[in-house]
């Protein structure tokens, strides 16, 4: 059976709500109240084609996981296919789409990308404004975002000379899994916003160098699609956003265990949505761009509708806000044998509690500055941990992420005790800008930078990178400028 557009259009309200996605019809009436992003965004497309809004932010198995078979109503009819294709073809491009189209004609060849800032520059122009705003946004005034990076600048090297470095090996292990460099892909959501192939670009780009990818619960591809894209020897970790319903959380864990994910990074720094203003403002920016400055003239009684949670907020609305050391870790240990890492430790005291809870590792992170504004930069937390509680590093593995953009950044963190260093946005930017080869490119840049830094410090192996090789200075160096 197939459906005419006319028939579908009748189901345009809360009592009966149908939507068309990729030329198939779905009855989402009962799902309206369960949708994490709220019902109003669905109702905006009730009785109509919702493909354009749906696809970039939902994994392919979302309809299957969330709707019962009876809610899958089947395809639209041939006339409808024609109509939808014509509508698509005749759709006027927005100014933002035209901007991207123009830029793609002069996108620089890949060999001109020589550092991660270059890659970010290309990504900024390749990305839709909405995607850019989602990726780069951080909390409030984006102070923690910037301070994460500035922290690295306060650590200088005390380089050693006259040491043999012709052979230099930057490989190491994370939770026992090999990696050619002390870096990994830190979990981040919605890669499809930046590139139609999404997270798989990262998976494939990491394969040759055995860089470990941590896949987010909120990936825009299904966990299975990502797992399927990996090479035989490639390691994937899973970033768990724990559902408040333990049973649903357990389903997710079982799924990724079966898919062969090798560790669970439990996210603890994002229990509630945060305030990412660039993200909240992005629809207004686009709207004003299309229509010019409007005359509002709304008077003082102007309707004050809530701007909503933004994409990021919607993703975590059902997560567990009451996790505790006493309850959550033992439960997790009881249901899985995978190594457990706590992602989002932000002070020394909680690092101690994590060690007492006998988890396998901690990721010092403030979620890339996207959650608690004025959370200490992870590198500063790492430094305090190294100074105040050096024995912790014997009890569990310590990682950091946030603000890492250069090989020197990676080496500093490893000197201060980090087993490995996560990068999030740089991988999103790389796959957005050039897809899989973009990912390979930034790995090769980081490899060159890390090896060069190690050699110029007189170091030939990762475990020779020790705290005495760095010094925290008492001034703030000049800011990095994007281009020289």
Helix (H) or strand (E) holding 237: strand 236-240
461 binds a copy of itself (CB under 8 A): no
Among 5, 175, 441, 462, binds a copy of itself (CB under 8 A): 441
Q: Give yes or no: 241 in active site.
A: yes
Figure out which of the listed residues 15, 33, 92, 106 binds a copy of itself, where binding follows CB under 8 A.
106
Q: How many CB atoms lie within 10 A of CB 302?
A: 9
Closest contact distance (angstroms) between CB of 446 and a copy of itself is 12
In DSSP notation, 402-467 reads SS--SHHHHHHHHHTT-SEEEESHHHHHHHHHHTHHHHHHHHHHHHHHHHHHHHHTT--BGGG--G
Contact call for residues 138 and 144 (beta carbons, < 8 A): yes
Q: Are 262 and 339 in contact (CB under 8 A)?
A: yes
Which residues inside 360-399 make contact with a copy of itself, applying CB under 8 A?
366, 371-376, 380
243 is catalytic: no
CB closer to a copy of itself out of 76 and 249: 249
Report the residue from 11, 154, 192, 262 that binds a copy of itself according to the rule CB under 8 A: 154
Q: Least distance (Å) from a copy of itself to the CB of residue 103?
A: 11
Alpha carbon distance 443, 284 (integer Å) = 36
What angle, rounded to 10 degrees, do the helices at 436-456 and 116-126 form? 160
Residue found by looking up tokens 């400055």 in the block: 293
Cα(342)–Cα(404) distance, integer angstroms:
19
User: Whole-angstrom Cα distance, residue 138 to residue 149?
Assistant: 13
* CB of residue 457 to a copy of itself, shortest distance in Å: 7
Give whole-number Cα distances, 373 to 47, 139, 247, 267, in Å.
41, 6, 32, 17
* From 11, 367, 399, 434, the catalytic residue: 367
In the complex, the smallest distance separating the C-beta of residue 406 from a copy of itself, rounded to whole angstroms, is 6
269 as an active site residue: the answer is: yes
Q: Which stretch binds a copy of itself (CB under 8 A): 11-19, 62-70, 204-212, 448-456?
A: 448-456
**In this structure, are residues 17 and 40 in contact, taking their beta carbons and an 8 Å threshold?**
no
Out of 23, 150, 173, 210, the only residue in the binding site for a copy of itself (CB under 8 A) is 150
Cβ-contact 23, 84 below 8 angstroms: yes
> In terms of CB distance, is 321 or 358 closer to a copy of itself?
321
**Which distant-in-sequence residues (6+ apart) come within 8 Å of 209 by Cβ?**
180, 181, 440, 443, 444, 447
Q: Which is nearer to a copy of itself, 111 or 334 (CB)?
A: 111
Q: Is 115 in the site for a copy of itself (CB under 8 A)?
A: yes
- Closest CB 209 distance from a copy of itself, rounded Å: 14
Residues in 257-316 that interact with a copy of itself by CB under 8 A: 268-269, 271-275, 277-278, 280-281, 284, 293-298, 300-307
Regarding 109 and contact with a copy of itself (CB under 8 A), the answer is yes
Q: Please enumerate in sequence order all residues whose Cβ is within 8 A of that of 307, keeping only pairs 6 or more positions apart, or say none.
A: 280
Q: Which residues of 427-445 are buried (b: 16+ CB within 10 A; e: fewer)?
A: bbbbbbbbbbebbbbbbeb
> At closest approach, how far in Å is the CB of 35 from a copy of itself?
20
Q: Which position among 49, 77, 118, 269 bears the catalytic label?
A: 269
Is 124 one of the binding residues for a copy of itself (CB under 8 A)?
no
Which residue in the set 262, 395, 412, 425 belongs to the binding site for a copy of itself (CB under 8 A)?
412
In the list 434, 442, 446, 465, the residue contacting a copy of itself (rule: CB under 8 A) is 434
Of 22 and 277, the one with the shorter C-beta distance to a copy of itself is 277
CA angle 176, 180, 182 (to 5 degrees): 70
Using CA atoms, how far residue 46 sits from 14, 16, 163, 308, 362, in Å, is 9, 9, 69, 19, 44
37-96: contacts with a copy of itself (CB under 8 A): none
Residue in 54, 134, 241, 434 annotated catalytic: 241
Taking CB under 8 A as the criterion, the residue among 92, 247, 394, 475 binding a copy of itself is 475
Q: How near is the Cβ of 203 to a copy of itself at its closest, in Å?
A: 16
Q: Give the count of residues interacting with a copy of itself (CB under 8 A).
A: 109
DSSP designation for 23: T
Of 435, 443, 446, 465, the residue at the interface with a copy of itself (CB under 8 A) is 435
Please select the residue that binds a copy of itself; options are 28, 346, 425, 465, rule is CB under 8 A.
346
Indicate whether 33 belongs to the interface with a copy of itself (CB under 8 A).
Answer: no
Q: Mask 164-193, x = binds a copy of itself (CB under 8 A)?
A: xxx---------------------------
Applying the rule CB under 8 A, the residues between 203 and 232 that interact with a copy of itself are none
Long-range contacts of 63-66 (CB under 8 A, 24+ apart): 63/21, 63/26, 66/31, 66/34
Tokens for 215?
């896949």
Which residues carry out catalysis? Answer: 241, 269, 367
């Amino acid at each position: 059976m197939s459906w005419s557009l006319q028939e579908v259009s009748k189901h345009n309200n809360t009592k009966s709500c149908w939507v068309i996605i990729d030329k198939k019809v779905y009855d989402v009436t009962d799902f309206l109240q369960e949708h994490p992003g709220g019902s109003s965004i669905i109702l905006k497309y009730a009785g109509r084609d919702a493909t354009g809004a749906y696809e970039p932010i939902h994994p392919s198995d979302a309809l299957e996981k969330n709707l019962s078979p009876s809610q899958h109503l089947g395809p639209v009819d041939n006339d409808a296919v024609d109509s939808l294709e014509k509508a698509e073809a005749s759709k006027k491009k927005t100014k933002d789409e035209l901007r991207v189209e123009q830029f793609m004609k002069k996108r620089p060849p890949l060999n001109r990308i020589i550092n991660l800032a270059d890659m970010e520059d290309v990504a900024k122009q390749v990305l839709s404004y909405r995607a850019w705003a989602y990726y780069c946004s951080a909390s409030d005034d984006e102070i923690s975002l910037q301070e994460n990076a500035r922290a690295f600048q306060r650590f200088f090297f005390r380089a050693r000379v006259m040491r043999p470095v012709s052979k230099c090996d930057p490989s190491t292990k994370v939770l026992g899994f090999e990696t050619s460099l002390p870096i990994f892909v830190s979990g981040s959501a919605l890669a499809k916003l930046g590139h139609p192939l999404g997270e798989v670009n990262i998976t494939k780009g990491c394969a040759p160098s055995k860089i470990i990818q941590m896949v987010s619960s909120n990936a825009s591809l299904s966990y299975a699609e990502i797992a399927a894209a990996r090479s035989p020897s490639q390691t994937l970790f899973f970033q768990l956003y724990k559902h408040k319903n333990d049973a649903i959380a357990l389903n997710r864990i079982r799924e990724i265990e079966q898919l062969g994910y090798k560790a669970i990074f439990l996210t603890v720094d994002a229990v509630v949505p945060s305030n990412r203003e660039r993200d909240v403002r992005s629809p207004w920016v686009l709207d004003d761009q299309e229509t010019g400055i409007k005359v509002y003239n709304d008077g003082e009684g102007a309707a004050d509708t809530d701007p909503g949670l933004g994409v990021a907020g919607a993703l975590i609305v059902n997560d567990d806000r009451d996790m505790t050391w006493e309850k959550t870790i033992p439960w997790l240990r009881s249901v899985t044998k995978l190594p457990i890492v706590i992602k989002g430790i932000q002070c020394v005291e909680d690092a101690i509690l994590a060690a007492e809870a006998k988890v396998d590792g901690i990721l010092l992170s403030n979620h890339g500055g996207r959650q608690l504004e004025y959370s200490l930069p992870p590198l500063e937390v790492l430094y305090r941990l190294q100074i105040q509680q050096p024995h912790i590093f014997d009890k569990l593995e310590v990682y950091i992420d946030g603000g890492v953009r250069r090989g020197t950044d990676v080496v500093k963190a490893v000197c201060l005790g980090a087993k490995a260093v996560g990068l999030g946005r740089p991988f999103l930017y790389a796959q957005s800008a050039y897809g899989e080869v973009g990912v390979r490119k930034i790995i090769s840049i980081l490899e060159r930078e890390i090896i060069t830094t190690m050699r110029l410090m007189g170091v030939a192996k990762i475990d020779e990178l020790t705290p005495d090789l760095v010094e925290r200075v008492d001034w703030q160096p000049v800011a990095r400028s994007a281009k020289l």
